Amino acid sequence: MRLESTVTRVANEIENMHPWLACHCYHYLGTAHRELGREGGIEQAIVCFQKAIELSQKVSNKASQMRSVVGIAECYVMMKRIQEAMNLHKNLALDPGYS
């Protein structure tokens, strides 16, 4: 819990100056939430991945964006929201920026 709040604080502080690094912080924070599996952790993971996607779009980093989209899809699978996960993957496949 302490590490989580530290990573969140660091990501918030560097978001404007170094959005690429903040993107990575949010991605790894989302992964930690997903892996810990605490109550509400999956929803919190999705929020972190969405923030990582927003920042990766800001710096035009398609690889980081795709990695976080896949992270969200994994959360959907864990929540048994399979169709939503499949839609995310299908949208990635159809996006010419990811080919």
Q: Which domains does the chain have, with CATH numbers?
A: 2-98 (1.25.40.10)
- pLDDT tens for 16-73 read 899 999 999 999 999 988 888 777 788 999 999 999 999 998 888 888 888 998 899 9
- pLDDT tens for 78-96 read 888 888 888 877 777 666 6
Q: Terminal CA-to-CA distance of the chain, rounded, Å?
A: 38
46, two tokens = 């999705």
CA angle 31, 34, 40 (to 5 degrees): 135
In angstroms, rounded to a whole number, what is the distance separating the alpha carbons of residues 56 and 69? 11
On whether the CB atoms of residues 14 and 22 are closer than 8 A, the answer is: yes
35, two tokens = 């892996």
